[in-house]
Amino acid sequence: MFHPSYVIPPMNLHEEIQSSPVYIIVRTDGLLLEGPIGFIFPEIPDECAGKIQSRISLGNYDGHSWIALGIHADRIPSGYTAHSLREFAANAVDFLPGMACRAVQLIRFDTLTRFCGFCGSKTSMKQDEIAKVCLSCKRIVFPRLSPAVIVRITDGPKILLSRSPHFPKGMYSVQAGFVEPGESLEAAVHREVREEIGIEVTDIRYFGSQPWPFPDSLMIGFTARYAGGAIESDMKEIEDARWFTRSDLPLLPAKDSIAHGLIHDWLDVGEPV
């Protein structure tokens, strides 16, 4: 069974407990700060206190109020190091990658929405939900989430994998792309597959979803079967696509991705009847 990474635990998301706070410190460019005691702070470090730009509640969990603190990248105290979310998640356990994911995304949201995109006035964080409100025109803006579909395509004992020019050398993955305005998720699957590798699919079935905070995607995973057409890579988003069997797989995506989950579900279970 696929267990997605970067998912927050079940928690009260919109009410901050007044006692037992814990803090995650995030640079405004999205990197997490590690201090002398690690990544989780029971109080705001003295050396950071005068440099905090943002304070956002992440919600309540395990008797604590989790709070993200945003700090400018050029104001990092001596003795602190910065790490990417993927570096942090590779060594963190349990619910912490999800908490860090939420912290990074909300600090980014606060940083990018300090002024209203409609009238240019200053904004303020709303108290009853995760949103910003313009102090002048009262326009409300919510954190950006960009839905993207990702689909595993099979044909009997074969799986179709493709590679982007941006992938590490030798790595192939399943097909993915962003949902466009006015599309259903299923329509996005058909369009992305048709545009980028030239084939048709059928029997689209939901597989699972995953927050993908690089920077703000929500990946919605599907499985599908080949329905016809010849593979023809668009040579823009996809430079190569081909069929593979279990015995000749290429380098695959990292374990923290839903792409890895889709491929290994096929390896473990096989083609459904």
Q: What is the pLDDT, as a whole number, of residue 8?
A: 94
Q: What is the pLDDT, as a whole number, of residue 273?
A: 39
Question: Could you tell me which residues come within 8 angstroms of residue 232 by beta carbon, excluding any fewer than 6 positions away?
Answer: 197, 198
Tens of pLDDT, residue by residue over 81-91, are 999 999 999 88
More confident residue, 1 or 248: 248
pLDDT band at 1 (very low <50, low <70, confident <90, very high): confident
Q: Are 163 and 150 in contact (CB under 8 A)?
A: no
Residue 104 backbone class (left: φ over 0; alpha: ψ -120 to 50; beta: rest) = alpha
User: In this structure, what token pair is assigned to residue 182?
Assistant: 């006015």
Amino acid at 200: E
Instruction: Give backbone dihedrals phi and psi of 104, rounded to 5 degrees, phi first.
Output: -60, -45
pLDDT band at 18 (very low <50, low <70, confident <90, very high): low
Question: Which among 49, 41, 36, 19 has a CA at the least distance from the CA of 103?
Answer: 41
pLDDT band at 124 (very low <50, low <70, confident <90, very high): very high
Q: What is the pLDDT, as a whole number, of residue 271?
A: 52
DSSP string computed for 65-90: EEEEEEE-GGGPPTT-EEE-HHHHHH
Q: What is the pLDDT, as a whole number, of residue 233?
A: 95
Q: What is the pLDDT, as a whole number, of residue 94?
A: 87
What is the C-alpha separation between 54 and 81, in angstroms, rounded?
19
The kind and range of the H/E element at 185 are helix 185-197
How far is C-alpha 243 from the chain's CA centre?
28
Residue 153, beta-bridge partner list: 160, 224
- Residues of the chain with pLDDT > 70, as a percent, come to 97
What's the average model confidence in pLDDT over 36-54? 94
Buried residues in 228-264 as b, exposed as e (16+ CB within 10 A) = eeeeebeeebbebbebbeeeeeeebbeebbbbbbbbe
Query: Is-above-0.85 flag for pTM?
Result: yes
- Residues of the chain with pLDDT > 90, as a percent, come to 86
- Residue 260's SS3 state is helix
Instruction: Provide the mean pLDDT of the chain.
Output: 94
Q: What is the pLDDT, as a whole number, of residue 120?
A: 97
Tens of pLDDT, residue by residue over 144-190, are 999 999 999 999 999 999 999 999 999 999 999 999 999 999 999 99
What's the average model confidence in pLDDT over 237-255? 96
Question: Could you tell me which residues come within 8 angstroms of residue 6 by beta carbon, excluding any fewer than 6 positions away?
Answer: 85, 89, 97, 98, 101, 210, 211, 212, 213, 256
Query: Does the pLDDT value for residue 195 go beyond 60?
Result: yes
pLDDT band at 51 (very low <50, low <70, confident <90, very high): very high
Burial of 56 (0-12, 13-18, 19+ CB in 10 A): buried
Query: Does the pLDDT value for residue 248 go beyond 90?
Result: yes
Residue 160 is classified by DSSP as: E
